[in-house]
Structure 1
Amino acid sequence: MRAVQLDQFGPAENLKLVDLPILEPIGDEVRIKVEVAGIVFADTQMRRGDYIHLPPLPFVPGREVSGTIEKVGAKVKHLQPGERVMAFIPKGGYAEYALAKEDAVVILPDHVKHSQGIVYLINLRIAYLNYYTFGKTQPNETILIHAGAGGIGTLITQIAKRHADNTVIALSSSDEKAAYCKGNGADYCINYRKTDYVQEVLRITDGEGVDISFNSVGGPTFRTDPLAIRPLGRWVIYGYAAGKDLLEPYETIMPKSLTLSINSVYTVLNREEFRQATDFLMEWLQNEKLDSVSKTFKLEEIVKAHHWIENQRSVGKIAIVL
């Protein structure tokens, strides 16, 4: 099978298109013929060796797949060949075939295309966990969303506007992305490269600050974000795209008595909270208006795809189409 393999941590050019044997599912595994594989910023961190969960080298990156079950292991109980499914896997997604544990697989509803389902497979569950479980967001609160045009930021906005009528302030790195955020439902859209986002947030909130900030960016925003949050507000950190070494809680968090949540989806994968997020995913796929992948790449274009993400060009969800 064709696959993208990483032999050494480093730049995108280390990703190589190779031919590998098709793996056999064992035990509770299923083999999926991949139609669409999601690409996320964390894939670039994993490629650089800067991620909390790193498989041993060499490995095939990619953690999101949507396709059709081709073969099942002997201990699989509820899935069968021919079913259209999606799966969140530790590795192996950038390939024509991928293995997934049965409990990591969700059935794709008949009316949902692979290019739609992959948008929500993990991003919606992370958005749900951030919004409800970690953020404990309440109706009518004002929230700040970093990377508002990204895959997860897009969905936090949609949850906030469709389910709770929150006031949403979305941050982005360009006017194009700000326009996307506006079209996605955000009430205020700030291009932080042109405007001091803290001062703009304080202007919008009459000097009070937001109730919650959802931050996947890190870096310098670890220092500035508390200034944009009201006293006794909440700060939900779920990534560090711009770096993770500037968090100084005693200087910035304690004076405002902020509640801080630094979370990882891996913490809850086998917990009731993730099952609730999966139920929310399935209800969303059945009942909500669905978006499709906004940008696609071929398997042989994976280096270009990683550059696309790292250069902050991505809007919405990007994916490999096989």
Structure 2
Amino acid sequence: MKAMQLKGYGAADNYELVDIPVPEPADDEVLIKVALASAVYADVVMRTGGYPFKPPFPYVGGREVAGTIEKVGAKVEGLRPGMRVTADMQTGAYAEYAVAKHGKIMIVPNRASFDQAIVYHSNMLVAYLAYYTFGNLQPGESILVHAAAGGIGSVFTQIAKQRGTNMVIALASNDEKLDFCRKIGADYVVNVSTSNYADEVLRITNGKGVDVSFNSVTGPTLRTDLHAIRQRGKWLLNGFAAGIGTLEISAELMLKSFTIIPFSIYSVVDRPEFKQAYDFRNNWLATKELLSVTRTFRLEDVAEAHRWIESRRSFGKVVLIP
């Protein structure tokens, strides 16, 4: 099978098209014929050596697929060849076939296409955990969403708006992204490339600040968020798209008295909250309005896809087609 293999950290061009054997699923694994493979910012971070998980070289990149089950391991129950599924894995998605653990599989409902299902496979889990589990957000709260046009930010915005009375201020970096945020329900949009978003937030909230900031960008935005969140508000931190940020323990921070909530999906994978997130995602796919993939690349053009993501022009879900 053809696959995109990485042999060392560095630029996007380090990916190489190779011909390797189709993997054989272990007893608790499923072999999937890949229809779509996600290209996400975490893949970029892993490629450059900044991700906590560091697989040995060479390895096939990519962490998420949509496709059809080709073969199941001896101990796998409830799944069979021919089923349409999405799945996540540590590596191996950038290929014509991929293997995934049984517990990482989601069956795609009949009403959903692969283009739609892959948008929600991992993104919905993070967004649900941010909104319900870690944030315990409530109807009526005002929410600032960083990178609102991104994969997680867009799904988080959908969740917030389906509660009906949340007011969402979406941050994005260009007009195309802002239009996308409006389409998915954001009440206000702010272009972070042309304005100080804290000033805009204070204007929108009549000087009060938002109840909650969901920040997956961090980096220098940590300082700006100090001025955008109300006193005793909530600060949800997940991700570092703008780099690892630092924040001094200052009198200003103490006066704000935020509830600061850094979180990772990996902290709940063995807890009931993770099953709740799975069930919420599956119900959403079966009953709610669905977003679709926004940009596609050929598998062998993975370097171009990574450069597109790194350019900050990408929004929604970017995928590769084998």
Tell me the TM-score normalized by structure 1. Answer: 0.97
CA drift of 1:163 comes to 2.1
Counterpart position of 1:221: 221
Tell me the alpha carbon deviations over residues 167-212 of structure 1, each in whole angstroms, 9 at most, x when there is no partner: 0000011122112211221111000111110111111111111111
CA drift of 1:111 comes to 2.1
Tell me the TM-score normalized by structure 2. Answer: 0.97
Counterpart position of 2:311: 311
Rounded Cα–Cα distance in structure 2 between residues aligned with 1:213 and 1:110: 35
**Structure 1 letter corresponding to 2:36:** V
Counterpart position of 1:208: 208
Q: Quick check: 1:223–1:252 contact (8 Å CA) kept in 2?
A: no
CA drift of 1:151 comes to 1.1
Q: Quick check: 1:150–1:315 contact (8 Å CA) kept in 2?
A: yes
**Structure 2 letter corresponding to 1:206:** N
Rounded Cα–Cα distance in structure 2 between residues aligned with 1:253 and 1:122: 33
Tell me the alpha carbon deviations over residues 63-100 of structure 1, each in whole angstroms, 9 at most, x when there is no partner: 11111111111111221111111111111111111111
Rounded Cα–Cα distance in structure 1 between residues aligned with 2:267 and 2:55: 17
Q: Quick check: 1:222–1:248 contact (8 Å CA) kept in 2?
A: no
Q: What does residue range 25-104 of structure 1 map to in structure 2 within 5 Å?
A: 25-104=25-104
**Structure 2 letter corresponding to 1:285:** L
Rounded Cα–Cα distance in structure 2 between residues aligned with 1:20 and 1:249: 52
Rounded Cα–Cα distance in structure 2 between residues aligned with 1:267 and 1:28: 23
Counterpart position of 2:178: 178
Counterpart position of 1:243: 243
Rounded Cα–Cα distance in structure 2 between residues aligned with 1:118 and 1:165: 28
Counterpart position of 1:126: 126
Runs of 4+ in 1 over 6 A off after TM superposition: none
CA drift of 1:248 comes to 3.1
**Structure 1 letter corresponding to 2:61:** P
CA drift of 1:54 comes to 2.0
Number of positions where the alignment pairs a residue of Structure 1 with one of Structure 2: 322
Rounded Cα–Cα distance in structure 1 between residues aligned with 2:52 and 2:34: 26
Rounded Cα–Cα distance in structure 2 between residues aligned with 1:58 and 1:248: 40
Rounded Cα–Cα distance in structure 2 between residues aligned with 1:91 and 1:248: 36
CA drift of 1:164 comes to 3.7
Q: Quick check: 2:123–2:155 contact (8 Å CA) kept in 1?
A: yes
User: Per the alignment, in what secondary structure is the counterpart of residue 35 of structure 2?
Assistant: strand
User: Per the alignment, in what secondary structure is the counterpart of residue 59 of structure 2?
Assistant: coil
Rounded Cα–Cα distance in structure 2 between residues aligned with 1:182 and 1:139: 20
**Structure 2 letter corresponding to 1:306:** H
Rounded Cα–Cα distance in structure 2 between residues aligned with 1:246 and 1:13: 31
Rounded Cα–Cα distance in structure 2 between residues aligned with 1:106 and 1:196: 41
User: Per the alignment, in what secondary structure is the counterpart of residue 253 of structure 1?
Assistant: helix
Rounded Cα–Cα distance in structure 1 between residues aligned with 2:252 and 2:63: 35
CA drift of 1:234 comes to 0.6
Q: Quick check: 2:31–2:69 contact (8 Å CA) kept in 1?
A: yes
2:196 corresponds to 1:191:
no
Counterpart position of 1:117: 117
User: Per the alignment, in what secondary structure is the counterpart of residue 45 of structure 1?
Assistant: helix
Rounded Cα–Cα distance in structure 1 between residues aligned with 2:277 and 2:250: 32
CA drift of 1:252 comes to 5.1
CA drift of 1:269 comes to 2.0
User: Per the alignment, in what secondary structure is the counterpart of residue 90 of structure 1?
Assistant: coil
**Structure 1 letter corresponding to 2:290:** L
Question: Identity of aligned pairs, percent?
Answer: 53
CA drift of 1:251 comes to 5.7
**Structure 1 letter corresponding to 2:71:** K
Q: Quick check: 1:297–1:320 contact (8 Å CA) kept in 2?
A: yes
Gaps of 5+ in 2: none
Taking only aligned residues, the RMSD between alpha carbons, in angstroms, comes to 1.2
1:276–1:165 CA distance, 2 compared to 1 (3 A):
same
Rounded Cα–Cα distance in structure 2 between residues aligned with 1:197 and 1:295: 27
Rounded Cα–Cα distance in structure 1 between residues aligned with 2:177 and 2:285: 25
Q: Quick check: 1:123–1:155 contact (8 Å CA) kept in 2?
A: yes
Rounded Cα–Cα distance in structure 2 between residues aligned with 1:8 and 1:252: 43
Rounded Cα–Cα distance in structure 2 between residues aligned with 1:68 and 1:252: 53
Rounded Cα–Cα distance in structure 1 between residues aligned with 2:61 and 2:94: 6
Q: Quick check: 2:220–2:245 contact (8 Å CA) kept in 1?
A: no
Q: What does residue range 155-170 of structure 1 map to in structure 2 within 5 Å?
A: 155-170=155-170
CA drift of 1:44 comes to 0.3
Q: Quick check: 1:31–1:97 contact (8 Å CA) kept in 2?
A: yes
